[in-house]
Structure 1
Amino acid sequence: MEAAPTQALRVENIAKRFGALTALRDVNLHLNQGEVLGLIGDNGAGKSTLIKILSGFHKPDEGRILVEGEEVALRSVEHARQVGIDTVYQDLALVNELSVYHNMFLNREKIRWPLLNNRLMRRLAKQHLDDMGVNIQDVTVEVAKLSGGQRQAIAVARSVYSDARILLLDEPLAAMGAKEGTLILDLISDLKARGTVSIIIIAHNYAQVLQVCDRVNVLQHGEITFDKPTSQTSQQELTDLVVAEYRAGRAARAANNRRSNP
């Protein structure tokens, strides 16, 4: 009998409220070791709130989080990083005016007292980017001068280099052209092949989710309503789920308006 896969991350019965607004009701989710999980859902479904809870930015009102089988109460973003969870947001948290290698070592600078050891950081940054297949010819160039795809790749590489075992990617392909998007998809595929990092991707492009993810979850009304291997679903099925939710919401709003304005 085939053994069950090891879980890198497990979320049980997570709920989060902001005053009268319930963002998450009862979220149950798991991420297997070395797996890439796609998380999709309409705007306002609670995806960003869930990612902020997993990254230590928000505390859940209910539920629990287990990392590699051990329950953790994440106190902060730094604490999440200490237990191996790192997040790459759309804004990347890169400093445009700094070089590639300085960004790679941001807040983790190598020191040769009393100065920064720039030579070592340049060498290590180039070596790590090359190892990950990220083609940056000159690591001394300012990040602002690079393409969106290159900047995204540097942000991902920085997280992996800092020993993240669970990587949360918030819309890593947003507003990218085909060439830049392919660069990031290839990087994610390479990480998946290594099997040392487990990844959750928030995305709106279902074709890209099906291309690079092992499994897909749909978040609706603050709960996970759909969980399937990507090999067992389709772009049409995922689209139909989200469209049905949108139409149901529109019908409910129309009914409320009729009751309010008879």
Structure 2
Amino acid sequence: MQEKTPVPVLSLRGVSKNFGGVHALVDVDLDVREREVLAVVGDNGAGKSTLAGVLAGAYRPDAGEVRLDGAPVVLDPPATARALGIATVFQDLALMDDLDVVENLFLGHETRRGPLLDEVAMERRAWALLDQLAATVPSVREPVRTLSGGQRQVVAVARALLGSPRVVVLDEPTASLGVRQTAEVLNLVVRLRERGHAVVLISHQAADLQAVADRILVLRLGQVHDVFTGDTSYEDLLAAMTGAVRPGTRRGGSRKAVAP
């Protein structure tokens, strides 16, 4: 008897999104499974940011549907997406530079003891979250502006985890980071998978994605061009992103694609 395939945590079916005459997403199908890192890669203008916005509830699709555990849902506004267990960390991180780590984590959701803020409880929770992510910060009372790019990314992700999401969407988390900081963020992605989260990792840097991705979905001109295994060569990914044909291969003849 054939084993039944588990229903994906989050799916898109036939999702399209237009901005005036611009077709940002065209008939996109996507599945995100438990304990999986699904990387989404594409060149500038491929539709990655729009996809992140749809998953975050910032944009409502013009066509198609979003499914959670196989059931259709409407994600917008973003508060609805968060309530349904989908947390998105955008490239700008939305951190307050002059506030410390604890203040950034709990901004708008402070823990209170009577009329007063429970600073001790919030600080303990902050350290517990950072420890679970194997993060290293000098102090949770340091202003965020003093942290490295990788440490700032960790703080933004830790804030997203306060709502115990099932799916974590990371939009260009390694953009503008150095080699060491990029490694920190990729280790963070692995930790999220180990914690049981489904992770959608959106980036234009294909080489970074290969280190942690279980599957890699290539967007080109708003459409899903292919879905690859994580061990696909960088050359094949680059060819899929740009539409180029590798020397010595026929178009569509050497790709190691997998079903979504």
Q: Is 1:238 paired with 2:229?
A: no
- Per the alignment, residue 224 of structure 1 pairs with 224
- Per the alignment, residue 253 of structure 2 pairs with none
Secondary structure of 1:212's partner?
Answer: coil
Query: Percent of aligned positions with the same letter in both sequences?
Result: 39
| CA shift for structure 1 position 25 | 1.5
Q: Is 1:202 paired with 2:197?
A: no
The unaligned stretches of length 5 or more in structure 2 are 246-260
TM-score w.r.t. the length of structure 2 is: 0.90
Kept in 2, the 8 Å contact 1:5–1:33? The answer is: no
1:73-222 aligned within 5 A: 73-194=74-195, 196-222=196-222
83-92 or 160-169, which deviates more: 160-169
| CA shift for structure 1 position 207 | 1.7
- Per the alignment, residue 251 of structure 1 pairs with none
- Per the alignment, residue 64 of structure 1 pairs with 65
| CA shift for structure 1 position 221 | 2.1
Kept in 1, the 8 Å contact 2:97–2:144? The answer is: yes
147-156 or 128-137, which deviates more: 128-137
- Per the alignment, residue 256 of structure 1 pairs with none
User: Greater Rg, structure 1 or structure 2?
Assistant: 1
- Structure-2 separation of matches of 1:36 and 1:148: 22
Give deviations 1:197-224, integer Å, cap 9, x for gaps: 1011111221211110100001112211
Give deviations 1:150-174, integer Å, cap 9, x for gaps: 0001111221232111111011011
| CA shift for structure 1 position 67 | 1.1
Count, aligned residues? 244
Kept in 1, the 8 Å contact 2:60–2:75? The answer is: yes
- Structure-1 separation of matches of 2:141 and 2:157: 18
Kept in 1, the 8 Å contact 2:219–2:241? The answer is: no
- Per the alignment, residue 53 of structure 1 pairs with 54
| CA shift for structure 1 position 117 | 1.1
Kept in 2, the 8 Å contact 1:59–1:74? The answer is: yes
Runs of 4+ with deviation above 6 angstroms: none
Secondary structure of 1:173's partner?
Answer: coil
- Structure-1 separation of matches of 2:69 and 2:108: 26
- Structure-2 separation of matches of 1:137 and 1:20: 49
TM-score w.r.t. the length of structure 1 is: 0.89
- Structure-1 separation of matches of 2:173 and 2:82: 19
- Structure-2 separation of matches of 1:93 and 1:205: 22
Structure 2 counterpart of 1:50, one-letter code = L
Structure 2 counterpart of 1:216, one-letter code = I
Kept in 1, the 8 Å contact 2:14–2:27? The answer is: yes
Kept in 2, the 8 Å contact 1:6–1:33? The answer is: no
| CA shift for structure 1 position 240 | 1.4
Identify, as 1 or 2, the structure richer in helix: 1
| CA shift for structure 1 position 245 | 6.0
| CA shift for structure 1 position 2 | 4.0
| CA shift for structure 1 position 238 | 0.7
